[in-house]
A and B are shown apart, each in its own frame.
Chain A
Amino acid sequence: MEGGLILLGGGGGGSSGVSTKESAVSKVEVVSEASSYPAESELELGLGLSLGGSGGATGKTKPACSSSWGECGRILTAKDFPSVVSHKANNGVPSSIAVSGTKRAAESVSHEGGSPTGVGHVVGWPPIRAYRMNSLVNQAKAPRAEEDKEICEKDKLKDASKKKLYNGNKISSAVNEKGHLGFVKVNMDGIPIGRKVDLNAHSCYESLAQALEDMFLRSANSVGAEKEQVTKPSKLLDESSEFVLTYEDKEGDWMLVGDVPWRMFLSSVRRLRIMRTSEANGLAPRFHESNERQRSKPI
């Protein structure tokens, strides 16, 4: 599968269009900054969370990402997404068609059968324009106006040293919260260059995990050799992988991804970090337990 990454022209040079691959990969920007993390001592690790919620994964069937988020709580691997495809760009017209827009990842995983009562988990349902849907999600993240300023002041102070603003201009704090449409920074231990992922392009944890895998694994193999090799070329977010996906929430705490319902996650996530499992000690007391359990299960 041609798991290419989409590089938006906007980040670097203003080329007006890039031929893109299909929905499997979410929009990505390369943010060239040194990744800097709070020192270990500053990490306030949250309560233990069980990542491997649904126990043994067959790894072969499509997940039914229904409205009971619990089933989405487990971060799956590439094998769980047989329907994800990349498509060739079109012929016959200038190839620099910049297909922009955040697509809901619901499209990349087709859900058949079952009760369609899970709103937002059936492709094409509810019938709301993608543009409006994106705005909805963005605005759900932004608190009401009075609170806006407060939170953003905190943001600014905290991230002043680390933040590279997308277009480098002065941005009002209120806009900063929302203006980037759900793009959050993602850093992976051992890789100095961070990325951004558009959370609005996903509707559940699986597709996010898939996108991150594509982002960090494929690129690690194809870009420079100065980065540490990711020894396991697949199953980045497998329970048995040496990496675990965590996020920093609005209060500055680092939590395991997959704990809370997806939409709650969307509204509280500030950035993501793919952390070495060994450093996740203490992050979730139960984590190791379930980890052990799953290591013995065939994937």
Chain B
Amino acid sequence: MLWVSRKTIKMNYFPDEVLEHMFFFITSHKDRNSVSLVCKSWYKIERYSRQRVFIGNCYSISPERLIARFPGLKSLTLKGKPHFADFNLVPHEWGGFVYPWIEALAKSRIGLEELRLKRMVVSDESLEFLSKSFVNFKSLVLVSCEGFTTDGLAAIAANCRFLRELDLQENEVDDQRGHWLSCFPESCTSLVTLNFACLKGEINLGALERLVVRSPNLKSLRLNHAVPLDTLQKLLMQAPQLVDLGTGSYVDDPSSEAYSKLKSVFQRCKSIRSLSGFFEVAPHCMSAIYPICRNLTFLNLSYAPGLHGNELTKLIQHCRKLQRLWILDCIGDKGLGVVASTCKELQELRVFPSDLGPGNAAMTEEGLVLLSEGCPKLNSLLYFCQQMTNAALITVAKNCPNFIRFRLCILDPVKCDPVTNQPLDEGFGAIVHFCKGLKRLSLTGLLTDQVFNYIGMYAEQLEMLSIAFAGDSDEGMLYVLNGCKKLRKLEIMKSRFGNAALLEDMGKYEAMRSLWMSSCEVTLGGCKTLAEKMPRLSVEIINESEQMEFSHDDRQKVDKMYLYRTLVGHRKDSPAFVCIL
């Protein structure tokens, strides 16, 4: 036997500075996490050199521990509410408040420069506090957040002297009187990204124009509906270097002077690669955009129901380099055929419904099949449709084996294959079988336990799974929990999974970020058992109904359960209607 003394084995052949320099090139969070696990000294070097941290669940760790470990933190990404909060399944006051984080960071010596939040509650106080606490603050990105008004934005504008990025995506913002845009001081010339497309109120157009004029580095500008076409034209004259443009209201008389000026200025905007907006749109004004189309890689028309059939397809025929397309189902199956024959570089497609009336969804399996035949590079799909067949899914899986994200939403969620009257198990089975890199999957349609058997068997890379109205028994959920080794997030609504599935492998949940189950068969007793046995999980019962009142009947089915792993125990800020077991 060869005994090797610890002293003779050195993992570090290099001085710390060299290691630190090497780590500089390791940017992905996963890799940095791995690096920190190698040994104590790598852990130490990594934590002092770490600048960007991603926290997928703000309740899994506390700001104090974050600060203690990463004193060099510059950029923080936080996510709050569970994904199903997007669909009104989580009450507004559930949690996800950013204030305590900002407070803690402000007290420390952290030189925060970037804050990216998703599904968090952000108050005006938080924004003001943020704006005054970090001298070098540069970038604020808010996605699907709520709780703030334009007053908070005014504070950011006024106080963040070196602001580069203000990016608001699909937030619910209260518009106050007052002109937040005017709060950017004359000395602010550093803007690179300005996205206020989600704001609902009026904009001081003059202030906007002056701001754009003094922002020579502006690359991304997304306007809200209140900005009319003639202002757009003026802005583009000042910012022909834009790479990403979101128009405001795109309506004018095609014979107007503003429109003809717009046409000529678009010809000068040779850098635009990404286009969105069109909240209101005059179809006969679209031809002004054609010169830009040939270079576009991202086109988002999903807020433009005014564009239909022919106008859409005419536009798309100019977009040969498109890689990502977000569109409404006004495009129809035939329109997707046009996409398939034009956009050979397409990687991501999202088709949203434009009319939720029963039976009004326009897309069927035909459009998807056409698309898959023309766009083999497709790797990300969100598709709202009226129906789907197994045959189509199998074809799509074979044509596009590169899927990383596959989200299908049949608006009637338990609809079977209309041709064979069978469940869609085989179709989704094919997807997981052929698409070996699949990381995210959302299923709808009539589905039995069999589909979960397939998922457990084949979906080896699956990280996130969303299930609604599916499965027959606990077996289904067990297939998934036992089979998908890389599963991180599982969210289930209205499916027949109960305690047996929940409790079979409780340790599994510590390897996952979170589990959501609503309107399933799990009971209070089952949840209590889980909570008792797994102290490092937080098991929340969300109970909105007055009647339920957290009865002590363990046999009572739980309406909504959300559990997640955490290193800091139960959170202290939960509202009355949340019971943490």
Measured between C-beta atoms, what is the minimum distance from A203 to chain B in Å?
10
- The docked-state distance in angstroms from the alpha carbon of A98 to that of B146 is 8
- The docked-state distance in angstroms from the alpha carbon of A167 to that of B468 is 42
Q: Check B427 for interface membership: any CB of A closer than 8 A.
A: no
Question: A117 near B95 (CB under 8 angstroms)?
Answer: no
Q: Chain A 58-102 against B: per-residue CB contact (8 Å), 1 yes, 0 no?
A: 000000000100000000000000110101111111101111111
Question: B468 near A93 (CB under 8 angstroms)?
Answer: no
Q: Chain B 175-209 against A: per-residue CB contact (8 Å), 1 yes, 0 no?
A: 11110000000000000000000101110000000
Question: A17 near B125 (CB under 8 angstroms)?
Answer: yes
Q: Check A116 for interface membership: any CB of B closer than 8 A.
A: yes
Question: A128 near B251 (CB under 8 angstroms)?
Answer: no
Q: Check B309 for interface membership: any CB of A closer than 8 A.
A: no
Measured between C-beta atoms, what is the minimum distance from B179 to chain A in Å?
10
> Nearest CB to that of B407 among chain A residues?
A127
Q: Check A107 for interface membership: any CB of B closer than 8 A.
A: yes
> Most chain-B Cβ atoms within 10 A of its Cβ — which of A16, A107, A117, A139?
A16
Chain B, interface residues (CB within 8 Å), range: 35 or more
- The docked-state distance in angstroms from the alpha carbon of A45 to that of B542 is 47
Chain-B contact segment, one of A34-42, A144-152, A226-234, A270-278:
A144-152
B-chain residues with CB within 8 Å of residue A83 when the two chains form the complex: 544-547
A-chain residues with CB within 8 Å of residue B146 when the two chains form the complex: 99-101
Measured between C-beta atoms, what is the minimum distance from A72 to chain B in Å?
13
Chain-A contact segment, one of B20-28, B32-40, B81-89, B447-455:
B81-89
- The docked-state distance in angstroms from the alpha carbon of A139 to that of B225 is 11
Question: A175 near B226 (CB under 8 angstroms)?
Answer: yes
Choose from A9, A118, A124, A175 the contact partner of B174 (Cβ within 8 Å).
A9
Measured between C-beta atoms, what is the minimum distance from B79 to chain A in Å?
15
A120 touching B356 in the complex, CB below 8 Å, given contacts A87-B575, A96-B124, A99-B121 = yes
- The docked-state distance in angstroms from the alpha carbon of A227 to that of B147 is 34
Question: B173 near A100 (CB under 8 angstroms)?
Answer: yes
Choose from A17, A135, A172, A181 the contact partner of B123 (Cβ within 8 Å).
A17
Choose from B302, B306, B358, B493 the contact partner of A117 (Cβ within 8 Å).
B358
Choose from B149, B171, B353, B468 the contact partner of A16 (Cβ within 8 Å).
B149
Question: B493 near A140 (CB under 8 angstroms)?
Answer: no
A136 touching B354 in the complex, CB below 8 Å, given contacts A16-B125, A88-B576, A112-B519 = yes
List residues of A (228-264) whose CB comes within 8 Å of B's CBs: 263
B-chain residues with CB within 8 Å of residue A50 when the two chains form the complex: none
> Nearest CB to that of B171 among chain A residues?
A131
Q: Check B281 for interface membership: any CB of A closer than 8 A.
A: yes
Question: B576 near A17 (CB under 8 angstroms)?
Answer: no
Question: B282 near A103 (CB under 8 angstroms)?
Answer: no
Q: Check B303 for interface membership: any CB of A closer than 8 A.
A: yes
Question: A14 near B177 (CB under 8 angstroms)?
Answer: yes
Between A and B, 7 residue pairs with Cβ closer than 8 Å are: A87-B577, A103-B92, A128-B353, A132-B170, A136-B305, A145-B280, A166-B201
- Measured CB to CB, the residues of A under 8 A from B are 1, 8-10, 14, 16-17, 20, 22-23, 67, 82-83, 85, 87-94, 96-104, 106-107, 110, 112, 115-120, 122-132, 135-136, 139-140, 142, 144-146, 148, 166-169, 171-172, 174-175, 178-179, 181, 263
